[in-house]
Homo-oligomer: A and B are copies of this chain.
């Protein structure tokens, strides 16, 4: 679980600009680790690119050969990393991406062009 405090403490300076302090590294590494599995990466992309901004678990599950139980586990990992949010509506559960953290990770990996003198 990543607390908002940890997440913002970890904030924005690009990796290539200054070393990450140890506490921030822990919080950020959790997010990267969550993306460090092919199935979770696909889940994440399916959720983030969903036309309505959200997608039903019942639309995710059939795209994989693994069991629904395992899908559910992976969604939990993404949820606990702060990358997605789930909401139950009627019988179904819908997930949507949380862009803040994605933006933060993207910024972290940003590489400046070679310094132009």
Contact = CB atoms under 8 A, between A and B. Distances in A.
Interface of A: 15-20, 22, 25-26, 28-30, 32-42, 44-46, 48-49, 97, 99, 102-103, 105-111
Nearest to A28: B41
| SS of A interface (majority) | helix
Nearest to A81: B36
A48 B20 CA distance: 11
B45 A15 contact: yes
B38 A25 contact: yes
Contacts of A18: 45, 49
A97 B16 contact: yes
B48 A15 contact: yes
Nearest to A23: B38
Contact of A111 (B22, B25, B45, B106): B106
